[in-house]
Amino acid sequence: MNRLKTIYAVFKSQFIILIRYPTWIIQLLFWPLIFPLIYILSAIGLSGPDNSGLKNFQNITGTDNYIAYIIIGTITWMWVNMLLWTFGTYLREEQMLGTLESNWLTPTKKFDFLIGAGLISLFIALITNIIAIAEYILIYRIQFQAPILMWFVIFLIMMPGAFGIGSIFASIVLWAKEAGAMVNIARGIIMIVCGITFPISVIPDWLQMISKIIPITHGIEAARLIMLNGYTLKEASSPIFKTIIIGIIYIIIGRLFFAFTEYKAKTTGSFDRY
């Protein structure tokens, strides 16, 4: 019960900050519309005057709906990026505000701080998905081959992996004491190796090996199979299973990273160093 109180307290404090400065919602209205255009317009230009390039794309991906293909990848990248900026930098921001040390001295499970921060990140990611999907259907006129509810099912399936990545990232940021550079590196890697705007089969084999150990890659694959190719959850069970299993492994690794961070804090007193 005390752990739930801690998680709720962190969630409540972050939620109050979130609604106190509501201008963040403005970027959620425009970013989903603008961001995919870079890749959609590039795809239109590279497809050729007679769209002959789309045949190769269809042969590789199994769909000719390249706009929806790109959008599924970019919307995933957007909420993962937001998760890195919120959940992934939570501990560092608490340190910079001067509240991390006092919180760390309380008789609570320290990992509960990250769980509470993760819940507010989940809330932001959910709002991002709702706004983006609505805009893509109403403005871009995207037609999916599955009910929209299925997208949110895949979103929930990807959350364990995303939380695992976030907890690993939060611990590393606290060690490095630099959030901006770490976020840019992480999201750049995800953009390249997870096949955000292209199938991973076109990247070198050694990069494909890296992409296959990241749960986001398999989550995007499952989303595309279901939303574009009309697969059922059973038919897309292979990437879904990989997303869940690898996601659980990342959560365990994230917990170990956090335990090491906690150990270093106790032995070196490093949290008081800016």
The 10s digit of each residue's pLDDT in 126-178 is 888 888 888 888 888 888 888 989 999 999 999 898 888 888 888 877 777 66
Total domains in the chain come to 1
Tell me, yes or no, whether 238 lies in a domain: yes
Convert the pLDDT of each residue in 33-84 to its tens digit.
888 888 888 888 877 777 777 788 888 888 888 889 999 999 888 888 888 7
Distance CA 198, CA 191 (A): 10
Is 86's pLDDT higher than 60?
A: yes
Tell me, yes or no, whether 274 lies in a domain: no
Give residue 2's pLDDT: 79
Distance CA 56, CA 117 (A): 43
Average pLDDT across the chain, whole number: 85
Tell me, yes or no, whether 57 lies in a domain: no
How would residue 271 be classed by pLDDT, with cut points 50, 70 and 90? Answer: low
Q: Smallest Cα–Cα separation from 128: which of 154, 95, 155?
A: 155
How many angstroms separate the Cα of 87 from the Cα of each of 18, 134, 167? 13, 25, 8
Tell me, yes or no, whether 58 lies in a domain: no
What are 106's two structure tokens?
Answer: 């309380």
How many angstroms separate the Cα of 185 from the Cα of each of 26, 28, 140, 253, 273? 25, 22, 30, 19, 23
Q: What is the mean pLDDT of residues 228-235?
A: 90
Which of 14-28, 85-99, 131-145, 250-264 bottoms out in mean pLDDT, i.e. has the lowest?
85-99
Give residue 104's pLDDT: 77
Q: What is the mean pLDDT of residues 105-120?
A: 84
Is 274's pLDDT higher than 80?
A: no
The whole model's pTM is what?
A: 0.88
Which position has the token pair 């365990």?
A: 252
Tell me, yes or no, whether 125 lies in a domain: yes
How would residue 179 be classed by pLDDT, with cut points 50, 70 and 90? Answer: low
Domain hosting residue 258, numbered range? 2-48+63-266
Distance CA 69, CA 72 (A): 6
Tell me, yes or no, whether 272 lies in a domain: no
